[in-house]
Copies of this chain bind each other. A is one copy, B any other.
Amino acid sequence: MPDLKQERAVQTRRRLLVAAAELFDQFGYEGTNVADIVKRAGLTLGALYFHYGNKQGVAEAVMNSQPQVIEPLLESEGLQHVVDITLVWAHRLQVDPLLRAGVRLAVEQRGHGMSDATSFNDWAAIMTEHLQIARDNGALRSGVDPEVVARFLVGACTGVQLYSQLVSDRADLMDRTCEMWQVLLPGIVSEEARADIVIDPARRGGE
């Protein structure tokens, strides 16, 4: 029964990922060791080494799981999808340890000798794809380059959450994210499409 074995491996990886994220979120990379991770996950060091190689391997997996946390929650497409990513991300950064740890590690990674842009590039690729849909639907102003906007948005969101964390522990992150769109939309979206784009904290979804 190879399916059962595979299913068990998925579960094991998931348990390690969540346990590591909870610790990274609270104590940071330096403040977390592999023994604590496997203890919290109720697994063995062998399992961690087998599935992730070492602490840095788990940390990279946590950083790069961001789109898997957010994307399944979204149903929109085009520019609205890009807006929704930022709103759901802003909300879940306050409640989801896996996302919180992923962003914390992505921001602080250089201090720990890591340099992995995968999570940034993955988000930029997803946003580019949806901005291309928007452009093909005539929703973008002429001359707006989906790739340029996507690349900028990924950087901008990263910095906006960092600023918000310092001043309010992210309590004002949703407001700041809506403000971001208030600044950006007039330069990006075509007149005709403007009324269709909803910038509303309620789109953050449940929980």
Contacts and interface: CB of A to CB of B under 8 A. Distances in A.
Contact of A164 (B155, B157, B161, B167): B155
- Main SS of chain A's interface residues? helix
A173 B182 CA distance: 25
Contacts of A115: 166
B110 A165 contact: yes
A111 interface: yes
B163 A176 contact: no
A126 B10 CA distance: 51
A126 B43 CA distance: 52
A4 interface: no
A52 interface: no
Contacts of A162: 107, 155, 158-159
A100 to B, nearest CB: 12
A203 interface: no
Contacts of A161: 155
B159 A155 contact: yes
A160 B165 contact: no
Contacts of A164: 155
Contacts of A109: 166
B156 A176 contact: no
Contacts of A116: 166
A87 B185 CA distance: 23
